[in-house]
Amino acid sequence: MKATQFFISTLKEAPADAEVVSHQLMMRAGMIKRLGAGIYNYMPMGLRVIRKVERIIREEMERAGAVELLMPVVQPAELWQETGRFEKMGPELMRVKDRHDRDYIIQPTSEEVVTDIARQELRSYKQLPKNFYHIQTKFRDERRPRFGVMRGREFTMKDAYSFDRDEAGATKSYESMFAAYKRIFDRFGLAYRAVAADTGAIGGDLSHEFQVIADTGEDAIVYCPTSDYAANIELAEGVALLPARAAAANALVRTPTPGKSTCADVAQFLGLPLTQTVKSLVLATDELDDKGDIAKSTIWLLLLRGDHDMNEVKAGKVEGLRGGFRFATVSEIEDHFGTKPGYLGPIGLKKPVKIVADRTVALMSDWVCGGNEADVHITGVNWGRDLPEPDAVADLRNVVEGDPSPDGKGVLAIQRGIEVGHVFYLGTKYSKAMNATFLDETGKPKLMEMGCYGIGVTRILGAAIEQNHDGRGIIWPVSIAPFEAVLCPIGYDRSEEVKTAADQLYAELKAAGVDVLLDDRGERPGAMFADWELVGVPQRVVISDRGLKEGLLEVQGRRDAEAAKIATTDVVASVL
Ligand code: ATP
Ligand code: MG
Ligand code: MG
Ligand code: MG
């Protein structure tokens, strides 16, 4: 590629709304251009990186036996009504109407469509296992789009979906995807951790997030430096709460007046680590006994952050709920429970909670547990209006550095991460809702066992930059750099020798398979170097009259303090 043919547009200053370094640098390097909140043009320089990310993903998906297809961005609501997600998903789901007033959605993910394909196409056990994937535009109407491509509203995701005959097969598919993800993130050249993640509404224990380590990450991960233990902190805290949840459920059925548990009951059994950000608490369950009371240990605990109209909570319109110390929307909970919102029972907090220690909070009297009759539990909720606004997620942490690792093999450390990938065993959640069956060896219909596997293609760019930059700009890992090397001839427009040497080296590098750019703009060296340091090209070769006289060119890696003088004839080998 030659610079004059390509499109280069660098900026000295980042726009004021770019809060994190990756967003600033991507804007300055001309990789993206904002079109609206969370919506970006991917400019030529940025698109080259995206294509390289996609290529690596495709290669590893194919290696793992996944097959590529492409599912539509705009999807008929009917499929989403089958699983109930059309109604239950919160405002993140973009719903649109066509000219006939028919409902559609812009896909945030594709479980419904892929399951619809599977139930029509995969009829016999002989066709299983199958793993379909695509790399497609997603839309999620994020409450707070920010950090450029890291939390966009329109973004690109690779999503894969596996279909298996049974749980054992699905576990194998999951493991194969897990291994593929490791190869992918290794090839990206990023420092990451695969951490156990909350399976939330689906349950089971097969879910891992791939987290790129970065201080600006929105997630926190806990790991044990002396063992393999690593988890999203949400899970670490959720796990700590599991026994408490079970006990709480029992406690609630045992209260003399069902639905009227006191604060003491709740606090004692939950061992609540509430903080000032929590203004209310909601208990929900999918299993009610014949009297309509909470029956089993599947109780969920939602901590409400901020003031919310309970009618909105009921309608699934509120985000920023935490359930069992993970973020959970009411719609997510409902999605799992498959029940009407009426089963969500809030506990009204009549007085602000008081902080007694940095980690635990006294919850004193004035709690009233919601009953299970429709609407009873959404009345009389009194919010602590004087409380500070909910802010950092960290406020709710109750796992801290130095806590013992759950595997007993050391103590926990905490670091921040960016979720770039997520693998998830779904079981029969979608196949059941959509009746996706196949005929087994005995000719009987059986539900397919599913898994889903996402990678945030565009988010990778932000994550890679958060991890690899310096004061001058981006430092791309070579595998995903927009160009692997840039040739910077000094005086390309004036010196015949320089031009000839640069053109020749360019041809040789291209022939050797190097993705090289020749900067033929005739820019002054300072401006030219600043551009390529900002863009983050891993290798730079400077061709000058002075060097040529000595038969030398200057080769400098983006992280090197100084250039190495290399004989003209050895340059190709040194760049390779
Ligand atoms: P997050 O917790 O950051 O909101 P998620 O858990 O909602 O992400 P998944 O549903 O697991 O996301 O989607 C798979 C992948 O898609 C994520 O691991 C992430 O890399 C990417 N992704 C999700 N939301 C966004 C977004 N708003 N912008 C860019 N990438 C995203
Ligand atoms: Mg999300
Ligand atoms: Mg997440
Ligand atoms: Mg996720």
325 within 8 A of 395, measured Cβ to Cβ: no
Q: How far apart are CA 322 and CA 301, in angstroms?
A: 8
* DSSP-assigned beta bridge partners for residue 321: 304
- Mean pLDDT, to the nearest integer, of 466-482? 98
464 within 8 A of 212, measured Cβ to Cβ: yes
- Mean pLDDT, to the nearest integer, of 195-211? 77
Average pLDDT in the chain: 78
Token pair of 340 as six digits = 């009407």
What are the C-alpha distances in Å from 535 to residues 31, 91, 502, 529, 555? 8, 36, 21, 10, 17
Over 70: is that where the pLDDT of 403 sits? yes
User: Which residue CA neighbors atom 11 of ligand 1 most closely?
Assistant: 422
- Mean pLDDT, to the nearest integer, of 227-253? 54
Least confident of 82-96, 410-424, 496-510, 560-574: 82-96
**327 alpha carbon – ligand 3 mean position (Å):** 8
- Mean pLDDT, to the nearest integer, of 387-406? 51
Over 80: is that where the pLDDT of 304 sits? no
Highest mean pLDDT out of 229-233, 300-304, 393-397, 452-456: 452-456
Q: Identify the burial level of 303 via C-beta atoms within 10 angstroms of its C-beta, where 0-12 means exposed, 13-18 middle and 19 or more buried.
A: buried
Of the chain, the percentage scoring pLDDT greater than 90 comes to: 64
Q: Is 158 in the pocket of ligand 1 (CB under 6 A)?
A: no
26 within 8 A of 463, measured Cβ to Cβ: no
Quick one: pLDDT at residue 406? 75
Over 70: is that where the pLDDT of 428 sits? yes
User: What are the pLDDT digits (tens) for 259-284?
Assistant: 333 333 443 444 443 333 333 444 44
User: What are the pLDDT digits (tens) for 119-165?
Assistant: 999 999 999 999 999 999 999 998 889 999 999 999 999 999 999 99
User: What are the pLDDT digits (tens) for 529-559?
Assistant: 999 999 999 999 999 999 999 999 999 999 9
Least confident of 19-23, 141-145, 207-211: 141-145
Query: How far, rounded to the nearest angstrom, does the alpha carbon of residue 24 sit from its chain's CA centroid?
Result: 20
Q: Is 482 in the pocket of ligand 1 (CB under 6 A)?
A: no
What are the C-alpha distances in Å from 359 to residues 85, 355, 400? 36, 8, 9
Provide φ and ψ at 462, rounded to 5°. -60, -45
Q: How far apart are CA 211 and CA 418, in angstroms?
A: 5
Predicted-complex ipTM score: 0.99
Over 90: is that where the pLDDT of 504 sits? yes
Quick one: pLDDT at residue 308? 45
Over 50: is that where the pLDDT of 189 sits? yes
Over 80: is that where the pLDDT of 301 sits? no
Quick one: pLDDT at residue 200? 53
Over 50: is that where the pLDDT of 202 sits? yes
DSSP class of residue 294 equals B
Does residue 215 or residue 342 have the better pLDDT? 215
- Mean pLDDT, to the nearest integer, of 218-238? 84
User: Which residue CA neighbors atom 1 of ligand 1 most closely?
Assistant: 419
Q: Is 454 in the pocket of ligand 1 (CB under 6 A)?
A: yes
Q: How far apart are CA 284 and CA 199, in angstroms?
A: 17
Token pair of 407 as six digits = 């595997």
Q: Is 155 in the pocket of ligand 1 (CB under 6 A)?
A: yes
- Mean pLDDT, to the nearest integer, of 227-234? 87
What are the C-alpha distances in Å from 529 to residues 466, 472, 490, 523? 21, 10, 11, 9
Ligand sitting nearest the alpha carbon of 421: 1
User: Which residue CA neighbors atom 27 of ligand 1 most closely?
Assistant: 151
User: Residue 116: which H helix or E strand, with range?
Assistant: helix 111-121
Provide φ and ψ at 426, rounded to 5°. -95, -20
Does residue 217 or residue 258 have the better pLDDT? 217
Quick one: pLDDT at residue 205? 66
Q: How far apart are CA 368 and CA 287, in angstroms?
A: 21
Q: Where are the beta strands (DSSP E) in 240-397?
A: 278-284, 300-305, 321-323, 326-327, 345-349, 354-355, 361-362, 367-369
Quick one: pLDDT at residue 143? 81
Phi-psi region of 536 (alpha: psi -120 to 50; beta: other; left: phi over 0): left
Over 80: is that where the pLDDT of 303 sits? no
Quick one: pLDDT at residue 386? 25
Q: Is 422 in the pocket of ligand 1 (CB under 6 A)?
A: yes
- Mean pLDDT, to the nearest integer, of 454-483? 98
Over 60: is that where the pLDDT of 203 sits? no
Give the confidence band of 237 by pLDDT, cuts at 50, 70, 90.
low
